[in-house]
Structure 1
Amino acid sequence: MKIKSLALMLLGVSAYAHFGMVVPSNSTVDDEKEANLQITYKFTHPFEGDMMNLALPNEAGVFVNGKKEAIKGLKELKEDKFSYFTASYDVKEPGVYQFYMDPKPYFEPAEDKFIRHITKTVVDAYGYGEGWDKPVGLKAEIVPLTRPYGLYKGNLFSGVVYYKGKPAKNVTVEVEYYNTKGLKAPSDAHVTQVVNTNEQGEFSFAMPLEGWWGFAALIDDDQKIKHEGKEYPVELGAVIWVQTKEYK
């Protein structure tokens, strides 16, 4: 998140990173009892827990067997007066399911820009194991190099950032933990971890905690949005969420 830190401090505005979220009830389905996935769609600061308003996404879907399928029946809920959505999806057969959303751009006056975080997560059903490294075909997307499920706490996650179908070099990737346990960071600098992509658009990060981790690659989009008579830049985020677990 490229920000003018001094201006934000003077305005009393939080400088924490924004993340689109698509988080299912589990990243793997091993039996029929787990086959009814509950999917949550949010726009938030995941470590601090602060919410922003999420309008009904322009597109919410699942990519499986090389095809996109719309997710219907999104239910709007409120948290601290901010909207988010949930949906149910019944997994009926083995496969690798990539759930995604393309939200309506969010205007952030503190940063003088719009934010559009195209977000996805990957679920493996019944040990199918193939296709997790296939792109959905989104304008901005993280394609995993590490299998993005069945991960342990401490595993290294690697991926490639794509923008308009090409690897995005020298792009900032922000990383945050979805903090549902009330953990406190040692300092503000610890809240959002930061890595950069290399010349091939690749990045890696080792995840030290059990739970959900978000990776947001931030790209200056080639389109602007007109708002109240002025054109604003768009921060296009390629976001992926992965889950880590511990041995029982």
Structure 2
Amino acid sequence: MSRVALLSLLALLALCVPAQAHFGMVVPDRNIVTKDGPKAFNLDIRFWHPMENQGMDMAKPKLEVTGKGKPEDVSASLKPAAIDGKQAWMANYAVKAPGVYMFTVTPQPYFEPSEDKFILHLTKTVVSALGGEDGWDKPLGQKLEIVPMVKPFALYAGNVFTGKVLHKGKPLANAEVEVEFFNADGARKAPGEAYVTQVVKTDGAGVFSYAAPWAGWWGFAALTDDDARLKKDGKDKKVELGGVIWVYFHPVAGK
């Protein structure tokens, strides 16, 4: 086979390989902090393919927490972590008062050569502390975000998670929402490539629903093209904007 033919074949094969879904991640080791338990917990922060448990290097992001009041920048708490040879981050946070705490991660834009565009995922999760349960449905004002429409820290496996996608504060209709399970221990095996990333779409009001088939952490990533462009090698490149939320589904007793 000639060199030209070989290169053409390799390019064709590259186009045939399904693109893996990228997910910003912020996963606490507990999403409910009880009055009689430890008040501190850890946050696992990555840029990852959750179901396949494969990752990319993540430059240091910005970490904020919103409780009762304005967002607080807690990026100083970030500690570097190497996971499977990839750069990730960890943070420890201790609650001091009852309430609902929303943790948001704003990464540095990641350039994906295979898609010739930047990826910017604005990622959040919700923690209930010391009996506080008010405010979990409040938007944070991110450029793209998923606002939960069911209490996001008290779901059983099999429950339906419903969220509303807001883009610049307005519902985003007919948008794709990618869904993946965080397969941390590799115990789950997808029966085929199509099952790795589940996809649902929002309705005219920006609302979507998904029933998690088993317990664990599930990520929901609403996607749209940003109206901004970023430079790469002197050229303007598209930006995929993602609004991501991580939700835990608790095991059902007796199953």
Query: What interval of TM-score do these two structures reach, taking the shorter chain for normalisation?
Result: over 0.9
SS of corresponding position for 1:180:
coil
**Contact 1:8 1:14 (8 Å CA) reproduced:** no
1:118 paired residue number = 122
Deviation at 1:227, TM superposition (A): 0.7
Match of 1:214 among 205, 216, 219: 219
Runs of 4+ in 1 over 6 A off after TM superposition: none
Deviation at 1:34, TM superposition (A): 3.1
2:200 paired residue number = 195
Matches within 5 A, 1:25-104: 25-57=29-61, 59-71=62-74, 72-104=76-108
Q: CA RMSD in A?
A: 1.6
2:236 paired residue number = 231
**Contact 2:117 2:238 (8 Å CA) reproduced:** yes
**Contact 1:22 1:41 (8 Å CA) reproduced:** yes
Matched, 1:154 2:158: yes
Matches within 5 A, 1:142-181: 142-181=146-185
Question: Partner letter of residue 127 of structure 1?
Answer: G
Deviation at 1:160, TM superposition (A): 0.5
Question: Partner letter of residue 166 of structure 2?
Answer: Y
Matched, 1:10 2:11: no
| Unpaired stretches in structure 2, ≥5 consecutive residues | 1-9
Larger Rg: 2
Matched, 1:140 2:144: yes
1:22 paired residue number = 26
SS of corresponding position for 1:242:
strand
| Unpaired stretches in structure 1, ≥5 consecutive residues | 1-5
When normalised by structure 1's length, the TM-score is: 0.93
**Contact 2:157 2:252 (8 Å CA) reproduced:** no
Percent identity for Structure 1 against Structure 2: 51
SS of corresponding position for 1:233:
strand
**Contact 1:133 1:143 (8 Å CA) reproduced:** yes
Question: Partner letter of residue 236 of structure 2?
Answer: E
Q: Partners in 1 of 2:99 and 2:11 — Cα distance?
A: 48
Deviation at 1:73, TM superposition (A): 2.0
Q: Partners in 2 of 1:88 and 1:78 — Cα distance?
A: 16
Deviation at 1:7, TM superposition (A): 6.1
When normalised by structure 2's length, the TM-score is: 0.91
